[in-house]
Structures are given as C-alpha cells and as structure tokens.
C-alpha cells in the first residue's frame, strides 16, 4: 500500500515540477511557479523518507538525513539572500555543480553494490557509468565556470587543449566500456574513471572564452539534469526522473537558442570560443570619440518621442536598475515612449538582464527581444546603452576579421541618436574594441552608471 501511495505522490510532485517550470516563463507567475516546484520537491523528499522501502526495510539514519537537509537549507537560504545580482551567475554555477556532484556520488555509492551474477553488461551499470561521467563533468566544469565568472581563473588559450580534450573524451568512453566488460565491480577502475571525468570537466571549460560563459552555464545545467535523470532511472524514482528530464531538456533547448542568438554552432563555442584572450579585429581606433554632458543628454531624452534603453553587465555592476526604472518613469511622464532592448546573451548568464530589470519592477511588456526591437529601431529617437558592449558592436556586421563577426546584434545605429554610458573606454567581455564608440551618431557619457543616471534624473526633473 505504501508503495502505491509513494508512486502517486511522485506523480503529483512531477506535475508540480512541470507547472512550476511553465510559470517561470513569465515574471508575473515566476515566484508562484518557484514555490509550486519547491512544494513538489518537499512532497517527494518527505514521502521518500516516510514511505520508501527496500526489501521490506524502511530508510535508516533518518536523523542524519534530516540534519543534512537542514544544513543544506540554511546554507542555500543564506547564500541566496546575500548574493548580489552581479554575482548571481557565480551562484548558479556553484549550485549547478552541486547537483552534478550529487549525481556522481550516487553512482559511486551504488557501483560496489552491483550484483555481478548477471554480468556487468546491463542497463543498470550503464546508467551508473553515465551518471558518474556526466555528473563529474558537470561538477568540475561548473567549478571552473564559477572561477572564471568570479575573475579567479583565466582562460587557457591553446589549440592543443582541444585535441587533448577529444582524446580524453574518447578515453573516458573506452574506459567506461572496459569497466563494463569486467566480471565484477572494480572500484579501483571506477575511481580512476571518476578522476578522469573530473579532469575532463576542468579541461573542457578552461579554453572556452569569457564571452561564451552564458552558453557554458546553460550547457552544464543540461548535463546536471541528464545526470539526475540517470539517478531516477537507477532508483525507479519518477519524481527524480521527471526533474532531471525537465532540467536536461530545458538546458539543452536554452543552449541551442543562445547559440542561434550568436549565430554560432555549439561546436564553435566549445572549440573556437572567443573572449578573455587577445583581441582580434577592430582593435585600432576608427575615429574620435564625442562626449555628451548630463544636461544635453537630459534635453535630448526629454524631447524625444521614443527612447530605447539597452542594459548590460555594467548596469548590474553599478546596481543601477532602480535608477534606470526611475528615469524611465520620468520620461514617460513627459510623454516619451520608453522600451528596453534585450539581447539574448547580454550579461553573464541566460536571462541576466530580464532578472535584473524584474528586480526593479520594470513592467515585462516593456522588455523587447532583439528580433522584435531591431525592426523598430529606425523609429527610435535616442538609444541609451548602459554597460552593454559586445551585443551592440557593429563589428559583428561589418568586420569579417572580428571574432564576433556574424553574431546578431541590437542595431543601435539604425536609431537617430546613441548615448553610451560607460566607466571608461574598456573593452567588453569578448575582449575586442567596439567601433560604435567612434561612430558619428554616438556620444559617450562617462562615469558610474548609477551616479550618471542619478544626475540625469535630476536634470530631467528640472526640464
């Protein structure tokens, strides 16, 4: 009877996961969706502890399990409360890596308990091997991504490393097959396989440039989902299987969409990444920069009919999203139509700008995706670029020697006027010069984004 109740609860939890994921597609329902999915997870955990039995025996060491859950809950709560929006990608990488580590640990624990009577060439052993390899790669790769995003680890730019990675990947597959051909579980080989998978995860992410980190985070997230699904297969746990499939499929779809947004195949991201290294293309000055004063910028914006704001990582660094929203409301009070133009890979993780603006209560219908805003850009009087760089770089369209050539960008030069707010003339995350800064339509407004927006708000109020 307990088994049937447990299965029903797993199905209910799976439904909550699916509904929660669906609700995450819109800011108005995202918080509720997150809670629904969390309720599903709590249901699955409690039901497993109380109702799960193996060979007629209930789960043991419940106090230790509860203590571990309590420690993880407290740590997760504190980290989520304290994390700055600029450090959100790092936290996502860290938490994603923990999920991969859990999947790998499951495989390490279950491997010695394999019954060799039926041989090692079974679906159970294959699931364990895949869970260990994918989970380990996700863990170590996510830790390297965390270090890169946090500025603690630099890229290793070497074509030889790509060759080494391919050899190591084939070696892992061969080693896994060799382990499965043994007569009984060999823990020494298994831990060697585990170490090699960790090494591959490190070397897999090391050569990938900083500008491609959003794609890498999404890809590693899909790896964690697949590894978790392997655990669901292993235990016959529907909730774990559904959760893993949802994470894996969502991460895969998002990875594909982000690659399409950059007009690059995934293989090019992995083996031909740009960013963080020596720049190529567009490095020489193509003209002189022109600055604009706060008062002139305020007048230009106040007497416009339509303005577009393009947020970037610099906006997140300055924590200027609330000031940006205040400026938007002031301009609307003066009859100016204001929209936000969002590039799919702006920031350091998928949807970074959407999350940032949602935190400032910017209405979701004001956010325009790149493919929607570009046809409207010719009707925009002023574009204000705040901290964005590579996603508005004209080199992607007119400089075949540029590493980002072919990547779709927000076409700011189609607008009548452009104002770029930056601290300095520093290069973007891709490490290349931006010819937009020297264009005759553009004016530079130097300074901290939050400080500049504050002064701009004061000037607009006085007009």
Distance CA 152, CA 147 (A): 5
Which one of the listed residues 285, 390, 398, 451 is annotated catalytic?
390
Angle (CA) 115 196 268, round 5° = 120
Question: Each residue of 197-236: b (16+ CB within 10 Å) or e?
Answer: bbbbbebbbbbbbbbbbbbbbbbbbbbbbbbbbbbbbbbe
Using the 8-state DSSP alphabet, how is residue 385 labeled?
Answer: E
Query: Rounded to an integer, what is the distance from CA 109 to the centroid of its chain?
Result: 30
Angle (CA) 285 291 294, round 5° = 155
Q: Quick one: which of 186, 228, 214, 219 has its CA closest to 201?
A: 219
Distance CA 454, CA 320 (A): 9
Would strands 53-54 and 57-58 be described as parallel, antiparallel, or unpaired? antiparallel
- SS3 label, residue 207: coil
- SS3 label, residue 419: strand
180: number of CA atoms within 13 Å, CB side?
A: 16
β-sheet with 337-342: strand ranges across: 367-369, 337-342, 306-311, 382-386, 417-422, 442-446
212 is catalytic: no
DSSP labels, 219-269: HHHHHHHHHHHHHHHHHT-HHHHHHHHHHHHHHHHHHHHHHHHTT--HHHH
CB contact at 8 A, 394 and 436:
yes
Active site (catalytic) residues:
390
């Amino acid at each position: 009877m307990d088994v049937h109740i447990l299965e029903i609860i797993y199905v209910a939890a799976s439904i909550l996961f699916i509904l929660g994921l669906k609700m995450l597609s819109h800011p108005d329902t995202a918080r509720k969706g997150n809670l629904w999915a969390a309720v599903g997870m709590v249901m699955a955990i409690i039901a497993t502890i109380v109702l799960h039995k193996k060979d007629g025996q209930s789960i043991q060491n419940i106090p230790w399990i509860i203590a571990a859950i309590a420690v993880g809950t407290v740590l997760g709560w504190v980290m989520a409360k304290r994390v700055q929006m600029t450090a959100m990608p790092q936290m996502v990488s860290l938490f994603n890596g923990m999920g991969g580590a859990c999947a790998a640990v499951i495989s390490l624990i279950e491997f010695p308990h394999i019954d060799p009577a039926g041989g090692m060439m079974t679906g159970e052993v294959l699931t364990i091997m895949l869970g260990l390899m994918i989970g380990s790669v996700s863990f170590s790769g996510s830790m390297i991504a965390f270090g890169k995003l946090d500025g603690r680890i630099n890229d290793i730019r070497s074509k030889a490393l790509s060759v080494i990675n391919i050899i190591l990947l084939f070696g892992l597959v061969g080693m896994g097959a060799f382990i499965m051909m043994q007569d009984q579980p060999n823990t020494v080989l298994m831990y060697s396989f585990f170490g090699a998978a960790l090494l591959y995860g490190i070397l897999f992410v090391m050569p990938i440039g900083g500008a491609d980190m959003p794609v890498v985070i999404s890809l590693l997230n899909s790896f964690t989902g697949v590894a978790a699904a392997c655990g669901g297969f292993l235990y016959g746990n529907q909730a774990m299987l559904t959760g893993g499939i949802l994470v894996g499929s969502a991460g895969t779809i998002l990875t594909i969409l982000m690659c399409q947004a950059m007009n690059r195949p995934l293989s090019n991201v992995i083996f031909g990444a740009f960013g963080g290294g020596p720049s190529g293309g567009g490095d020489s000055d193509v003209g002189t920069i022109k600055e604009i004063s706060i008062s002139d910028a305020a007048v230009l914006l106040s007497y416009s009919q339509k303005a577009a704001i393009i947020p970037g990582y610099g906006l997140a660094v300055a924590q200027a999203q609330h000031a940006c929203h205040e400026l938007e409301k002031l301009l609307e009070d003066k009859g100016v139509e204001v929209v936000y133009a969002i590039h799919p890979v702006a920031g350091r993780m998928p949807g970074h700008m959407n999350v940032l603006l949602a935190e400032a209560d910017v209405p979701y219908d004001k956010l325009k995706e790149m493919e929607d805003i570009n046809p409207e850009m010719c009707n925009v009087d002023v574009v204000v670029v705040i901290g964005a760089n590579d996603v508005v770089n004209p080199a992607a369209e007119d400089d075949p020697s540029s590493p980002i050539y072919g990547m779709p960008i927000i076409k700011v030069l189609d607008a009548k006027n452009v104002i770029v707010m930056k601290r300095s003339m520093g290069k973007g995350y891709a490490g290349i010069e931006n010819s937009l800064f020297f264009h005759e339509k553009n004016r530079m407004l130097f300074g901290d984004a939050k400080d500049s927006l504050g002064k701009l708000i004061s000037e607009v109020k006085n007009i």
